[in-house]
Structure 1
Amino acid sequence: MDRIIQPPLVDTTACLCRVDAGLKTVAGAKRFVPGAKLCLQPDIKASIHPTRNKPTRGDRNRNQSPLLPGLPDDLAIACLIRVPRVEHRKLRLVCKSWYRLLAGNFFYSLRKSLGIAEEWIYVIKRDRDGKISWHAFDPIYQVWQPLPPVPKEYSGTLGFGCAVLSGCHFYLFGGKDPLRGSMRRVVFYSVKTNKWHRAPDMLQRRHFFGSCVINNCLYVAGGENEGMHRSLRSAEVYDPNKNRWFSISDMSTAMVPFIGVVYEGKWYLKGLGSHHQVLSEVYQPESNSWYPIYDGMISGWSNPSTTLNGHLYALDCKDGCKVRVYDEVTNSWSKHIDSKMHLGNSPAMEAAALVPLNGKLCIIRNNMSISLVDVLKSEDTRGPSAEHLWETIAGKGQFKTMVTNLWSSLAGRNRLKSHIVHCQILQA
């Protein structure tokens, strides 16, 4: 068997990895992270972007200067980790020492352990010409942030997957390239380096498949393979700790999923079979088994959904102004949270994603407007009315949007300029 050359492992635990070892007092900084250990794995370096040759560690150590003049490095780190995330892009440009600090596992593990890590919203959009772009939204300062462009092999790809591992690695995988057909390729963006990197290819080419993350492992199942001209039953899982893909049990029937969610440790999928019939299956990782499901949760389930605080939520209208809650006791979607502010049925107002953000439900629409729902307050019967649980943090100025839509209609520009393909939350 030919030896497969794979990129280096990516450690997902809090550690003092090699890239941090150049800091003078990094050993003393261990006390900031209980249980931190020396990382035996190399740092991320399989960047897609071309880089110049780096000096050896010996040269680095000889020329090492303090992170902040006049302060020991451990105190300097204590200051730098408290800089808001919106400024981290500038911190990397100050000097090589600061870049190495932010590129290592220690810096962001420390922010997370101290409870100062920030969650940002990452949105992938496709324009009317089929080109892919992506954007990051800072919910604290409520501004969109610049990002390095997606790798060129994904600039026009259809039916690819998207997921987040280790909280700060944004993966794109599979899909159908306009020229090469179905792909096995996997790439990921690291918040630490602000660059794209390669990861091991999937075991099978596929597009329009289902994917999810359970226990920080990436699962994919079903979909299509252009070379096989049929739906797939196969499934596989990627373990970032082992940096390998593994086959898991096949699905009961071949399926092209159009919706999926992880609930109570199980992966629920709903899609179309080989004869365009609607199918539903659930996967149990503990037993590595699939089985069909037809209960009340699946009935009528067709909109974006997510779990938060052990509860399952789904959008209940096209513009995302109403959310329904799954009641496990009655095995039905019997509860609702209504904003009482309907935005209409235009494609621009369509809610494309529902994700958890800082303990709230986050609804993202095609026009990049974002709403938050405080579901914890909704569970308090003495709390405010349902419409007061909603907050708009992006796309404020509904009147302006309505005027813009009206002008576009009068000018004959009804075609949607772009639509959201994927949405994820990254923490750093």
Structure 2
Amino acid sequence: MPLLHHLNSHGREDEQIVEEFHGCRSKPARGESSRNQSPLLPGLPDDLAIACLIRVPRVEHRKLRLVCKRWYRLLAGNFFYSLRKSIGIAEEWIYLIKRDRDGKISWHAFDPVYQLWQSLPPVPKEYSEALGFGCAVLGGCHLYLFGGKDPLKGSMRRVIFYSARTNKWHRAPDMLRRRHFFGSCVINNCLYVAGGENEGVHRSLRSAEVYDPNKNRWSFISDMSTAMVPFIGVVYEGKWFLKGLGSHRQVLSEVYQPENDSWYSVYDGMVAGWRNPSASLNGHLYALECKDGCKLRVYDEATDSWSKHIDSKIHLGNSRALEAASLVPLNGKLCIIRNNMSISLVDVSKSNDAGGASAEHLWETLAGKGQFRTMVTNLWSSLAGRNRLKSHIVHCQVLQA
């Protein structure tokens, strides 16, 4: 069976691409003959040419688009990347959003295979200085920015997304409520937001809503039990856990169950020992034990406590530059990203066989930006003082293409 028929259910755009590469268009465009169309690769049928092109490393895809119009069109549609995903060669990159010393937002992509930082199109201007906005990934390859507070216009409903397949930004439907410093998560490829504040007085919100990309619209869901400004959240066992501050600055915890659209107050051993950042992977919940992220805690459901640890035995320090800002799954491992853009990987799948605290061999350091400036960065951070605005990571996600 031809490779191009391996995937045949990705929409009209993909069907058109299939038709073009098989030369079976019934009515070629004026002045164009599919019979005389140049092959993708000289001397090869287009099926085999695509079988070659989809195996080119992702880091080179920007160059592939520049070769000719046919290559550009192939890489501009979903078909090319759906093929990569279907045969298990799609690559995961780390995308981090950073606030610089002057308050400006920038962002960067890291290729963990070649250990290279990649250039990206600038963040749209409405988010260049925004505060308290959300960030999430839908469909594995679309990174969404939503809500937040513009320094001049106040709270926003705006939603935009970046496609890792096209390397471009796009608009999406606005949220139903203006909000900033809210909680967000993704369950079953739907984007949920809840709580936060709106502009003007610092009024906490109870409202929550969900975006379904298949319907391309937002809908309200049940309000939270109490108004909250969340500071930590995670999806664990199909439920969304949130922890934050109430209108009187008291600590609150709630869990949302999407199957019955209900919120419940919760305060058990998991919530009591929960620290930021945290992440769930393969049914287990992890959080950082120390500021530099060199020691992980694991929630033990049997004892309802955070009693297990995975320790690297190599601790870097407590400066803001070395502080771990994010914990995300990457290729089946946990990835720790620090403010100086150094990155560590932990193979937690082998932690049960590694003897808990003696599991330092499970850790791997990636040659991330800033890794070799650790000592200088640490010293400068200490000299600068805690009151000075410092460069730091505000969001981190993984996109596949």
Matches within 5 A, 1:298-377: 298-377=271-350
Q: State which of 17, 24, 29 in structure 2 corresponds to 1:58.
A: 29
Matches within 5 A, 1:114-263: 114-227=87-200, 229-263=202-236
AA aligned to 2:278 is S
AA aligned to 1:223 is G
AA aligned to 1:58 is A
What is the rounded CA distance, in whole Å, between the counterparts of 1:207 and 1:340 in structure 2? Answer: 38
Q: Per-residue displacement from partner, 1:186-214 (whole Å, max 9, x unpaired)?
A: 00001121100000010111100000000
Kindly state the Cα deviation for residue 94 of structure 1 after the two structures are TM-superposed. 1.4
Kindly state the Cα deviation for residue 300 of structure 1 after the two structures are TM-superposed. 2.5
- Whether the 8 Å CA contact 1:20–1:101 is kept in 2: the answer is no
AA aligned to 1:136 is A
Q: Does 1:379 align with 2:352?
A: yes
AA aligned to 2:51 is A
Which residue does 1:18 correspond to in 2?
13
AA aligned to 2:231 is F
- Whether the 8 Å CA contact 1:377–1:383 is kept in 2: the answer is no
Distance 1:60 1:114, change over 3 A: farther
User: Which stretches in structure 1 are left out of the alignment for 5+ residues?
Assistant: 1-12, 30-55
- Whether the 8 Å CA contact 2:319–2:382 is kept in 1: the answer is no
What is the rounded CA distance, in whole Å, between the counterparts of 1:375 and 1:409 in structure 2? Answer: 32
Q: Does 1:392 align with 2:365?
A: yes
User: Which stretches in structure 2 are left out of the alignment for 5+ residues?
Assistant: 1-7
What is the rounded CA distance, in whole Å, between the counterparts of 2:131 and 2:384 in structure 1? Answer: 30
AA aligned to 1:191 is A
Q: 3-state DSSP class of the match of 2:63?
A: helix
Kindly state the Cα deviation for residue 87 of structure 1 after the two structures are TM-superposed. 0.3
Matches within 5 A, 1:271-310: 271-310=244-283
Which residue does 1:102 correspond to in 2?
75
CA RMSD of aligned residues (A): 2.5
AA aligned to 1:117 is A
Distance 1:16 1:68, change over 3 A: farther
Matches within 5 A, 1:33-112: 58=29, 62=33, 64-112=37-85
Distance 1:388 1:246, change over 3 A: same
TM-score by length of 2: 0.91
Q: Does 1:427 align with 2:395?
A: no
Distance 1:78 1:279, change over 3 A: same
Distance 1:70 1:25, change over 3 A: farther
What is the rounded CA distance, in whole Å, between the counterparts of 2:362 and 2:267 in structure 1? Answer: 33
> Aligned residue pairs: how many?
390
